[in-house]
A = this chain, B = another copy of it.
């Protein structure tokens, strides 16, 4: 098992990413040969040496990176040696079993989609993020890969989310909810109405529409949303949590209150939860938060390793094959 790590992507790359790698090696959760570091050789070698690492993982040298503000497809074309492209190439060629990237999400999605292709039968990739709520972790997807999906894409997100929840969250028969602005089948947009019919007609354990105020209330194990809504929801919760901490500080709440708040908000601190999985592409792709610091790297490596070892993609393909009638009949 080997994971390609994009050392150059992310707001605090490369040093915080490398510090996280050092931690993973030092705690012996990962061996050097289980990692493939993609980035500038001399920087990587010197930071690992300074950190007292005897063994250095294999390095795939590059100095090119797609910046956070670059247009993904334009950037990928202009920089064939971009770190994310080399990570994808390593997975495609079997040099790594999966990749972990903290950089430009659009570039990661585009590079993975073009470089790895889709799983057989899957039409669009979706970002699955695992969030802690009242009933434990739940999955929200798509968190931003596909802002304007068709109903059949949403249906496939339900199917992929079910496989993910079963494999990664150990839910026997995951409840699939459609994130919507009302409970009845006819609520929402044309797209959600059609997706409702697709999901309802399938053998998935579909619990119907779920409204935003019930996202954290253990109404479903998987929440299906279009990439615009999923991304917005994720970021609004993140912003609200930050605002709460800011308010607690500004109002001079005593430190006990601040600490308690911070602990509770840990559940929504996406820089600590290990990242999101890009489902649907033919390979394991973990997307870490762009603002990740060193402490976020090990959880993200763990998540990538779990995705690889449990074989989520294999189960998605199996599940799709057995659902095939439903997928094509309504699309």
**Which residues of A line the B interface, CB within 8 A?**
69, 71, 106, 133-134, 144, 147-148, 179, 181-184, 186, 188-190, 211-217, 227-229, 231-244, 246-248, 251, 253-254, 256-257, 260-261, 264-265, 267-268
Q: Enumerate 20 A-B pairs (CB-CB under 8 Å) in ascending A order.
A: A106-B182, A133-B243, A179-B232, A212-B232, A212-B233, A212-B236, A212-B238, A216-B239, A216-B242, A217-B239, A232-B232, A236-B236, A237-B237, A240-B241, A240-B268, A247-B264, A248-B264, A257-B257, A257-B261, A260-B261
A287 to B276 CA separation, bound complex (whole angstroms): 38
Contacts of A231 in B (CB 8 A): 181, 212
CB closest chain-B residue, reference A244: B264
Asked, given contacts A181-B144, A235-B211, A246-B134, whether A228 binds B264 with beta carbons under 8 Å apart, the answer is: no
What chain B residues lie within 8 Å of A232 (beta carbons)? 179, 181, 212, 229, 232-233
CA distance A153 to B190 in the complex (A): 18
Complex Cα gap A264–B250 (Å): 11
A260 to B244 Cα, complex, angstroms: 11
Q: Kindly provide the distance from the CB of A101 to the nearest chain B CB, expressed in whole angstroms.
A: 18
Are A240 and B240 neighbours in the complex by a CB distance under 8 Å?
yes
Chain B: minimal CB distance from A106 (Å): 8
Is the pair B243, A260 in contact by a Cβ cutoff of 8 Å?
no
